[in-house]
Structure 1
Amino acid sequence: MKPVDQYFLSQKEPYQSIMLYVRNVILNTLPHVVERYSYKIPFYNIGKKPMVYLNILKGKDYVDVVFVHGVLLENDFPVLKNDNNRKQVRSIQLKAIEDLDQENFEQLLHAAAENTRKGKKAWFL
Structure 2
Amino acid sequence: MTAHRSVNEVLADLGAPDEQPLELEGVLEAHAEGFELLHYPKTERISGPKDGEHQYQAGVWVGFGNGSLQPNRDALNRWVGKRVRIHGILSSYLSLPPVGSLGRGGFGPWGFWPAQIEPYSVQRVTAEERRENAV
Larger Rg: 2
TM-score of the alignment, normalized to the shorter chain, above 0.5: no
TM-score using structure 1 length? 0.30
- Indicate the structure with greater helix content: 1
Q: Which has the higher strand share?
A: 2
